[in-house]
Structure 1
Amino acid sequence: MKNGNKKAGLPGDSVISEGQEIAEVKAIREKLSEMHSDIKKVMEFTSRLRLEAALENSRQEYSNALLSHLFEDIDTGLEKNMVKKCPEKQKCTSAFTALLQQNAGLIKKNRVDDALISDSRKKLEELRCGAPYSKCEKCFSEVSSLLVKQVNLMRSMRIYADNQEQKPNISALKTSAVMSEILEPISNLQRLEILRAVAFEAKSFSAFSELTGLRGGNLLFHLQKLTESGLIMQQHERGDYMITEKGFRILQGLNEIYSSLQGYPLQNSSRKESEENDSQKRKDTPELAV
């Protein structure tokens, strides 16, 4: 007689079924883990894009503000320090403004190539070669100063670096030339005062006399020394004196050197302070009765 009931499953069937379920659950977990990892990567990538966009936007706003300031600096500097009465003033102002604004616009770049700065300097030298008057040097000194300020700003923003920031080859320094062309002409206090006085405006012989307290031949000796060294020049015979590009660069260099050494104690200052302390100690020490 046949039995209508189904046959009971074998004992191994339940084991196989449980193993399959465990494997399926494990596979699902792995899939969920992969999905979670992918979602996390997408979120991180999206956040990074947003951050980069925000930083780029901030950088652009910062660059625009700096550029606006540089443009104002150009207008103010040229108006204040160029030769006032000159038939070529309007023409030169336009040329100088175009050159400086083009160079200033480089701050919006992520990286400024040295060739771009060299090109600006080359254009300035080309303009200088076409200068018709000796008094033009005053205007070119101002333009050079503005150009240097722009380049230094780019360095501080870390978007420009040139060979000047590499370790200098001090062994190649021409000491005799440095002494005769730079150090010796400015080693006198009166000459240094004269050079500083004409940094931004021309001065007359009488103005130098009042400044230094020197008269006649004594003052003329120092003026000739600075003139022969190429640090200052006379606009015309018996005219006012003005600084040259070389003189202005030397003055700038001195200012930078002095500023960079402010954190270091000077030997003379330390000696003077020591002498003052010794003097104070002697005053504070009671004398022994004899």
Structure 2
Amino acid sequence: MNKNFESEISDIREKLEEIHRDIRTFTEDSNREHLESILTFVRDDYSNVLEKHLIDDIKIGLSKNMVKKCDRLEQCRPIFTDILQKNAALIKQASVDSEIIDKKRVDIKNLRKGMPYDKCDICFSEATDLFEKQVSLMQSLRIYEVKKDKKQDISLLPSQSVIDDMLDPLCHTKRFEILKAVSGQSMSFSALSKLTDLRGGNLLFHLQKLSDSGMIIQRHERGDYMITGKGFWVLEGISDIYSSLIPEEN
């Protein structure tokens, strides 16, 4: 009788685990569908605004951070502007091939080889930073994805960038709760206030942290908050790591 009982318990446990896996898969798929609908909305409605933002960023960045006292300034600035503006225009496409981005990176590096001064590094560093910001936005919108077979060498991970872009934004419990909440649906400021028990400036501070890191966006001024591709990937990565480190309860 005990053997029959244990067998029934085992069958029930297996069934519960199966149901748990199904629910988790359904939730993940639902979140992906939600994310895709959000990204489609952003791409369709805000592509022109995003392109204008990137172009303005180019003008400000190059004007502010290129070497002022240089006899090649008026030659180099139009070249950088042209490269970056053409790259910014890709934000309006439904998909950007990784080979295009790789080629543009190589083109920028090759330009540097033909420049005569050590101080040219300053200008090329600014152009490269602007370029990578554009690529990061494309990744968040899921119109550009890095090839999965390319693995980042751990020794080359930029420590400060990893901390600023991923670890610091999520090191606070309330910010982690916010990101989890908007991974399943867009949420208003008042709904997030109720969820986190934060008010006014306190909640805005945490929302700004997540927004500055590119993990969430706001539909429009005073609109709902939504997760970005970057936010979703980071959250998925944390979930995978946590699942592999923490054994499931029996």
- For normalisation by structure 1, the TM-score amounts to 0.41
Larger Rg: 1
Bigger relative contact order, structure 1 or 2, given CA contacts below 8 A and separation 6+?
A: 2
